[in-house]
Structure 1
Amino acid sequence: MSTRSYQGCWTCKSRRRRCDNQRPTCQNCAQRGIDCEGYEVRLRWGSGIASRGQFTGAEKPVKECVPPRPKGRKRDLSRERRKLETSASSDAKENITNPCDPRSGPDEFTQENHTMVYEPDLDISHIPERVKQEEILFNEFMNNGINVLHSTTARDSMLQPRLPELCQQSGALYTICLAFQLSLSSTQSPQFLEYFDASLRKFRSELAHSTTLSDGTLTAGLLLCSIGLMHGLPWTVHLEGMHNILQSHGLADQHHTATQTSFRTHLLEVMGVMDLPCFSIGRQTSYIGIWHRYCQPNSPREGIEPVSGLPRVLLDLFAGIGIDTTEQSFWDWPGISGNFLQCYLWEAHRLAGILILRRYARAEQHQSEMRKFSTWRQPSACPVDETVLVSRILANLDALRLAIAERPTEDRFIENAVLFPIVVAGLEVSVLRQNPQWQETIRKCAPGSIQHEILLELMEELWEKNDPLLNIDDLARAKGVEMGLL
């Protein structure tokens, strides 16, 4: 855990890190690739009054003019105010419309400069311990929790080195990181519920006042979506709200500009993957088409998308379902070069894509609204029945499970990507009832997580009821669950 610096450079002081006091710039800042603000004495004045330092509040820099200083640090007060946002928002008089939730109530910020308007008298005697616990929690997220967000062998995370800077851009992001780390243990603990509620309020407030989404706010929204899709909490409404703001400021044109950074492109790709209908269960909002409309035409098509762990060209096929992708498209996909673990994963996804198309076709046939595809090829089906497809998907997943156990350090995060083919295979109820031993394979192949437990509970209910008119989306919505398969 980092220790607060009292004698160090201004950068280390603001970040609450130990400073080595080297001149002219400290090595801690140099190693992290950030600008060192140096050690010079600062006197900041506002309307003739000092704003910080020894002479805070004085009309002139002499000790006789220094007013009594309030107990506690400004940061401590700010943190305590954020803790009391629930009562602050209910007492506030403003009524600002939130693009994510039209029913959202008053907000704790003013629209002009995001200045807090609720400042009660506070008892801050316990604050230092809370600050320490939050720092420990944030460090756990940086070192461990953040790994849950990736399903690839990429050695360099695009998010981790940028996260401290992004937290400066978005006031909601830091709290969301804490809530995310707490969610990995339990979504029922009072501590998680406290931080998740604060995360929602901060993000909705930030989104309500955003004219253009900063990378920090966009990252905060995607992390909030990740908490939801992993734990069955509503999340696509946040995706829709962020898209509405981006679209109102020319999302298509922005994506063509030369100023588009690689990290911004990465964030839009993450939005695109989350938006794919086949990667959600019990979705509560409409499909937007972010990947097909913005990512596929403009982003490089080579390489692997790090959140899903899938080649971008394979994601193109999933994005084309209902547009121009057929069973034959998946059947003919040649694959790309990858390690053995990736080949198992990609083969399971390719075959799952065929089952997804058949599942959609059965639903449409039941509604007597068969969709006519405009295809690259003739809309012929691949010459394999559902039983063979399920057995091949589970064979690849079982081989992947055994390979991970044998070589645990080869591809540390690839297990994060197995839920989609597991669930798609599990939805073939008639096949699973005829082959009950495959149900046990599904139980063994998925990682032990809250997300897996919720999805497995839904699948087992489908297996037990064996009702051809009951699908997992209706079952999830009836339970108030909105899941993701990422």
Structure 2
Amino acid sequence: MTCEGYKTRLTWGSSDTASSAGGGIVLKPVRPPRQKSKSLRDSRTRPVAESVDEEVVNLPDFSSIPSPDDLDLLCLQFEAFSEGLPDEEVSQRLMDSFTTIGWQTITGRAGHDTMFKSDILPLCQDSICLKHACLAYQASLDIDTSHMTPLYMQSALSNYLNDLENPSMLCQDVTLATGVLLCSINSLYIWSPLLKGLHGVLQARDLLNDPQRPPVANHLLEAVGLLDIPFFTLNRITPSLEIWKSYVQPHKHSGIEQISGIPYSLMNLLANMDSTTIEQDLLQWPGELGDEFAQIHLWEAFRLAGILHSRCLADHDQDQTTSSRVNISTEILRMKVFASIQAIIGIGTFNFRLSLARAILYPLFVAGILAENAQEQQLTRVAFQYIMQKGQEGIEQIIMDIVAKVWKNGKGGSEASKLMIATEATAELNAEIHLY
């Protein structure tokens, strides 16, 4: 694949240097050299533990390319797919599904219509780039259409890189929206280098430090900030730009964030999961008023999963004798997470709130990799089955396979070692997987 428009003005430079008013985005390579890893493969039909030695789709071996640029790496992932785009009838059918149901899997968790539906979806009418990003996302949701995802991704990414070079496009919300959606397509590929371009667009528009940001631009900045929180991504290969900490957290302390459906006050804590006081901070979180019980259960699942996750991270760096852990066992925390997830399922939330079904993925994954007995592992499998309803399994089946690999290879190991097994399994797929 040739990413047109990427060959001239998209240059590397200091991350602290905002783009000039008449120029394209200036980026900086942030990815350290990677170890040799295996080609991307489709493991939807078999567990990761049993398929890591079988290649189904042969993509370039990134480690064999001398110092590839981050965005070059994004392009290389789609070189193997040379088919033309699906016909208009197929595209229209996917678009109809996205505008009615698909968009709800990435936003709307706060319990009401969001700016994505009212302000961003209409932009597809005049932007082939955003439209193809939407089609790629919708195709990724169903195993029967997932083979079309890289075809639409190829077109969307090429057009998006052209837009980054076009000064007139940098000031338009559609460019931000396209970049956000390209990062949100939870398929097996590397996506975090795109955050650098999004950060550059925000800089070019002087949105980062503007207290009077237009509502849609503010919504998109928060979306970029959420994607940039590193703890929600398996095998994140680029360092966090700390967009949430720097530009959202200082100004948002109450209310519910639209995309994640999580209160700002809780998300601010989760964005600092590597803090030495995070367990106490999460335990002392006072909560927030919600519109329905399912929201309360979801927030509780995230809060407790955050404590479990912080223990996985702390295990890497400090001895348990110096840890700031509180006196609550990991087993109790796990069961509380499962109880919250089971409550959401029991309420019947999935029958009318598809967005909440996807929302439980993060706490389910964290509790799942730490599950130590047959009962907890069965609870994990059942919850994943609810997410993968009607055969639209997408990435969730792969995540379940990764969890099963942790059960097989991490039995008796520390919390940190189990998270590491999951991370390494994702790295073997040449992928970054976000979990919210």
Q: TM-score range by the shorter chain?
A: 0.7 to 0.9
Q: Are the aligned partners of 1:459 and 1:472 in contact in 2 as well (CA < 8 Å)?
A: yes
1:318–1:325 Cα contact (<8 Å) kept: no
Residue 264 of structure 1 pairs with residue 217 of structure 2: yes
Q: What does residue 204 of structure 1 align with?
A: 161
| 1:440-451 alignment runs, 5 A limit | 440-446=378-384, 447-448=387-388, 449-451=393-395
Counterpart of 2:95 (choices 100, 121, 138) is 138
Matches within 5 A, 1:218-257: 218-227=176-185, 230-247=186-203, 250-253=206-209, 255-256=210-211
What CA distance in whole angstroms lies between the structure 2 residues aligned with 1:93 and 1:310? 37
Structure 2 counterparts to residues 411-430 of structure 1, below 5 A? 411-428=353-370
Query: 1: distance between equivalents of 2:7 and 2:243?
Result: 33
What percent identity do the matched residue pairs reach? 28
The change in CA–CA distance for 1:146 and 1:302 in structure 2 (over 3 A counts) is same
Alignment of 1:50-449 (within 5 A): 89=4, 95-97=8-10, 99=27, 104=72, 130-163=87-120, 165-167=122-124, 170-186=127-143, 190-210=147-167, 212-227=170-185, 230-247=186-203, 250-253=206-209, 255-256=210-211, 258=212, 260-298=213-251, 300-323=252-275, 325-338=277-290, 339-365=292-318, 380-404=324-348, 408-409=351-352, 411-428=353-370, 432-433=371-372, 435-446=373-384, 447-448=387-388, 449=393
Instruction: For 1:93 and 1:383, locate their aligned partners in 2 and report how far apart those are by CA, in whole Å.
Output: 54
Q: Report the CA distance between 1:391 and its aligned residue.
A: 1.1
| Deviation (angstroms), 1:278 | 1.7
Please tell me whether the aligned partners of residues 308 and 330 of structure 2 are also in contact (alpha carbons under 8 angstroms): yes
Q: What's 1:478 paired with? A: 428
TM (normalized to structure 2)?
A: 0.74
Q: Deviations over 1:272-316 (max 9, x none)?
A: 111112211111111111111001113x43221122111111001
Q: Which has the higher Rg, Structure 1 or Structure 2?
A: 1
CA change 1:102–1:424 in 2 (3 A) is closer
Q: C-alpha separation between the residues in 2 aligned to 1:88 and 1:245?
A: 19
How far apart are the structure 1 equivalents of 2:6 and 2:311? 53
Q: How does 1:457-472 map to 2 (within 5 A)?
A: 457-466=401-410, 468=413, 469=417, 470-472=420-422
| SS of residue in 1 equivalent to 2:339 | helix
Deviation at 1:465, TM superposition (A): 0.9
CA offset digits 1:26-46 (Å, max 9, x no partner):
xxxxxxxxxxxxxxxxxxxxx
Contact kept, 8 Å, 1:280 with 1:484, in 2: the verdict is yes
Distance in 2 (alpha carbons) for counterparts of 1:191 and 1:475: 24
Q: What's the secondary structure of 2:430's corresponding residue?
A: coil
Superposition CA RMSD, Å: 3.1
Q: Which runs of 5+ in 2 are unaligned?
A: 12-26, 30-68, 76-83
Q: Within 2, Cα distance between the matches of 1:93 and 1:419?
A: 35
SS at match of 1:159: helix
Instruction: Tell which has more relative contact order, 1 or 2 (C-alpha 8 A, sep 6+).
Output: 2
Q: Note closer, same or farther for the CA distance 1:191–1:239 as it changes in structure 2 (3 Å cut).
A: same
Contact between 2:109 and 2:259, CA under 8 Å: does it hold in 1? yes
Structure 2 counterpart SS, 1:413: helix
Residue 398 of structure 2 corresponds to residue 454 of structure 1: yes
CA contact (8 A) 1:187 1:231 kept: no
Q: Which AA in structure 2 matches 1:154?
A: G
Residue correspondences, number: 358
Per-residue CA deviation, residues 334-355 of structure 1 (Å, 9 max, x unaligned), is: 2112221111111111111111
Equivalent residue letter for 2:425: L
CA apart distance, 1:132: 4.6
Deviation at 1:130, TM superposition (A): 3.7
For residues 196 and 283 of structure 1, the distance between their equivalents in structure 2, rounded to whole angstroms, comes to 20
Q: Say if 1:323 and 1:390 are closer, same or farther in 2 by CA, change over 3 A.
A: closer
Report the Cα distance in structure 1 between the residues aligned to 2:406 and 2:230, rounded to whole angstroms.
Answer: 20
How far apart are 1:192 and its partner, in Å?
Answer: 3.1
2:154 partner amino acid: D
Measure the CA separation in 2 of the matches of 1:195 and 1:93.
18
- Deviation of the 1:157 alpha carbon: 2.2
Q: Deviations over 1:431-462 (max 9, x none)?
A: x23x2211110111130122221111111111
**Per-residue displacement from partner, 1:352-402 (whole Å, max 9, x unpaired)?**
111111111101138x9x9x9xxxxxx843220111111111111112111
Question: Deviation at 1:167?
Answer: 3.1
The one-letter code matched in structure 2 to 1:218 is L
Aligned partners of 1:275 and 1:287 also within 8 Å: yes
The 8 Å contact of residues 179 and 194 in structure 2, kept in 1 or not, is answered as yes
